[in-house]
């Protein structure tokens, strides 16, 4: 009989309002900790994706720079870079500069401004 009364006492103790409030507070604290941990995990996953993207871009840039260095280490690459940047040329080499023909542009505009025979006749009657 004592066992039943003791169980009833334990049961009433566990199901009392103060104990339930303590359990509820503990539950809220654990939920909050769980939510904060989830947010940290999510933020770190996003940061990892960003860093992996940056790493890929840096590896691509590294490969481009290495190929550029390899090109500049050759005699042809150095010559090409000097010609492009500083407009240098070899001895006895001549440079030809091609200019657009301005006279041809003027002739085209004059041709466009001339009226046809029918446009001239129409102009007489329209005025």
For residue 106, the model assigns a pLDDT of 60
9 domain residue, yes or no: yes
55 domain residue, yes or no: yes
Give the pLDDT confidence of 65-80 residue by residue, as tens digits. Answer: 999 999 999 999 988 8
Determine the angle formed by the axes of helices 17-73 and 75-86, rounding to 10 degrees. 90
Give the total number of structural domains in the chain.
Answer: 1
15 domain residue, yes or no: yes
- Asked if residue 69 lies in contact with residue 77, where contact means CB atoms within 8 angstroms, the answer is no
Domain that holds residue 20: 2-110
Give the pLDDT confidence of 21-78 residue by residue, as tens digits. Answer: 999 999 999 999 999 999 999 999 999 999 999 999 999 999 999 999 999 999 999 8
Q: What is the pTM of this model?
A: 0.49
Q: Band the pLDDT of 109: cuts 50, 70, 90.
A: low
29 domain residue, yes or no: yes
> And the tokens for 80?
């090409």
95 domain residue, yes or no: yes
125 domain residue, yes or no: no
């Amino acid at each position: 009989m004592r066992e039943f009364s003791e169980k009833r006492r334990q049961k009433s103790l566990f199901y009392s309002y103060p104990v339930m409030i303590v359990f509820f507070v503990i539950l809220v604290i654990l939920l909050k900790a769980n939510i904060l941990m989830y947010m940290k995990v999510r933020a770190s996953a996003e940061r990892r994706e960003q860093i992996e993207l940056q790493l890929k871009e840096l590896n691509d840039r590294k490969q481009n720079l290495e190929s550029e260095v390899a090109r500049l280490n050759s005699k042809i690459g150095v010559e090409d870079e000097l010609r492009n940047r500083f407009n240098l040329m070899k001895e006895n080499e001549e440079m030809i500069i091609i200019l657009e023909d301005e006279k041809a542009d003027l002739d085209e505009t004059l041709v466009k401004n001339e009226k046809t025979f029918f446009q001239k006749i129409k102009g007489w009657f329209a005025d």
